[in-house]
Amino acid sequence: MDIPMQIIKRYEPYRISNNLFNIGSHDNINKRIKEVAKMCGIEKRTSFHLSRHTFAVLALNYGMPIESVSKILGHTNITTTQIYASAPRLVA
């Protein structure tokens, strides 16, 4: 996991709290997600929740263990994560 560690080290001097990254408020996150979607030509309504859902479905689709996805999303109960496992899968 060299690349993730390089990213973490690169942004370490900019931390202003105990959080790994300074992501701001929920409103700021939604605003940033919408800006990125616009730059990418995505016209669908986007949100923080949609981005979490998309990550979970893609991670499971590409073979990440459900226990890992659950931990990354901060779910206390794996049954919450299983909702993402029942989402439609991508066809390779």
pTM: 0.66
Q: Select from 76, 56, 74 the least CA-distant residue to 64.
A: 56
Rounded CA gap, 88 and 86, in Å? 7
Virtual CA dihedral for 50, 54, 57, 58, nearest 10 degrees?
Answer: 180
pLDDT mean values, one per 10 residues, the chain (92 residues): 87 84 85 93 91 90 92 90 75 50
Identify whether the C-beta of residue 87 lies closer than 8 Å to the C-beta of residue 58. Answer: no
What size, in residues, is the chain?
Answer: 92
Q: What is the pLDDT of residue 88?
A: 67
Q: What is the pLDDT of residue 89?
A: 61
Q: What is the pLDDT of residue 34?
A: 94
Rounded CA gap, 52 and 13, in Å? 26
Rounded CA gap, 32 and 59, in Å? 22
